[in-house]
Amino acid sequence: MQLKDCFFLGKVVKKYSFKGEILVKLDTDEPEIFKNLESVFIALGNNLVPFFVENCKLHKSQLLRIKFEDVDTEEDAEALLKSELYLPLSILPKLEGNKFYFHEVIGFTVIDDNFGEVGELVNVNDTGAQELFQIDHNGSEVLIPINDDFITKIDRKNKQILVNTPEGLIDLYIEN
């Protein structure tokens, strides 16, 4: 399995017990769909290594408490701290309408009702309080907040995101 075929599930943030259990901070709006995992891939060095789940349950809403097979001690769990967990893209449920996964819209063309074609979506910045579309407009970066009120349509067939942003927002980023 290669990283390009996977999505980021979360990161090991803490050991939980002396029996090798760990806590994973999930990167999802719906943590409950991951409480019955059978296996995950953990990034170790430059490799994705499969780990089989012995037991798994939600812990304080956004954390997943996991006991892996053959991870039986605090030392074993310690070795996994700060590791990133991944799952194959193929297990993600298909989204429709204006719901989308960040990875699926990279490369789409963003078109604004007021401005016209803004450019190509090159990244989704989700590190701050507000998630942002990062768009390349002829070498200039344009940032548009990901907001349900701004997104009018996700057109998967034509690889386009249609938005209606406040007048002048896009002009702030473009040099005359």
Asked if 117 and 79 sit in the same domain, the reply is no
For residue range 88-99, list pLDDT tens digits in order.
998 888 888 898
What's the rounded mean pLDDT across residues 100-119? 94
Question: Which residues lie below 8 Å from residue 10, measured CB to CB, with a gap of 6+?
Answer: 24, 25, 26, 27, 28, 64, 84, 85
CA 126/CA 119 separation, integer angstroms: 19
Q: At 10, phi and psi to the nearest 5?
A: 170, -170
Domain range enclosing 106: 102-173
Task: Name the domain boundary from 91, 114, 146.
Answer: 91
Asked if 45 and 79 sit in the same domain, the reply is yes
Asked if 86 and 154 sit in the same domain, the reply is no
Asked whether the whole model's pTM tops 0.85, one would answer no
**Cβ-based neighbour number of residue 78 at 10 Å:** 12
CATH number reported for the structural domain that contains residue 108 in this entry: 2.30.30.240
What's the rounded mean pLDDT across residues 33-56? 93
Asked if 128 and 169 sit in the same domain, the reply is yes
CATH number reported for the structural domain that contains residue 86 in this entry: 2.40.30.60
Lowest mean pLDDT among 47-51, 91-95, 115-119: 91-95
Whether residue 97 is contained in a domain is answered as: no
Whether residue 96 is contained in a domain is answered as: no
Whether residue 140 is contained in a domain is answered as: yes
Which pLDDT does position 176 carry in this prediction?
Answer: 60
